[in-house]
Structure 1
Amino acid sequence: MTSGAAAPYGDDRERAIERRQTQPETMLKTASRNAGKIDAVRQIKDWTRERFSLNEDIPVMVAEVTCGLPGCPPIETIVTFWTAPETRHAFKAFKPAIEVTADDLPPPWMKNAIISDSSDLSCC
């Protein structure tokens, strides 16, 4: 590099150093905010396994989705599990995961009624 030339990444490097110095604190705040959601998702999975007598090796997925359609709640929690490679069960709770309770899950006798043969879960 010749004298008088600007150092590569001059200002950008300083900004990156500043971000690194503040980023750990930001990451901790994000983790603590998400801790409640993570715990809620784990609890929903446990309730689902218990309610429908699912073994630990059965995949259970819990997802929060937003809905922009008129009349939809702003956030829904969708729970999906598979009892066979082609047998998917799905149900929704019309609220964020952190607000879901065991009473929001369908009763055990509905296990076959919640079999979903469609990738579209836009209704109930």
Structure 2
Amino acid sequence: MPRVCFTLQVDPARLAEYRARHERVWPEMLAALADSGWHDYSLFLRADGLLVGFLVTDDFPAALAAMQARDVNARWQAEMAPFFLDLDHGAADRAMRPLDEVFNLAAQLAAETGETP
């Protein structure tokens, strides 16, 4: 299953509040993410506001589209937008900058042994 890693920039002046908002994400939002194909989804936040997200999904564009069709996502994105800098499209889920994976330990080990990762 493909892995996706992306970055966003949280306003450094709002890091504590951003962290607090993610301590208890709305149950409806959690269910929508899971139902839309977001698996093993994590967010990592650096002290300067760099946010790195990671997830596993069969089809990232489809998973994004499924979330964008959900009312709960529209409400969540509206509440979270003020926390981010440089939102190109007004919502964090539309401004994610996916990164190219350049190394995967499991894949290389599997290639060495002829196994499937």
**What is the TM-score of this pair, normalised by structure 1?**
0.30
If asked which structure has higher relative contact order (CA below 8 Å, sep 6+), I would say 2
- In terms of Rg, which structure is larger? 1
**What is the TM-score of this pair, normalised by structure 2?**
0.31
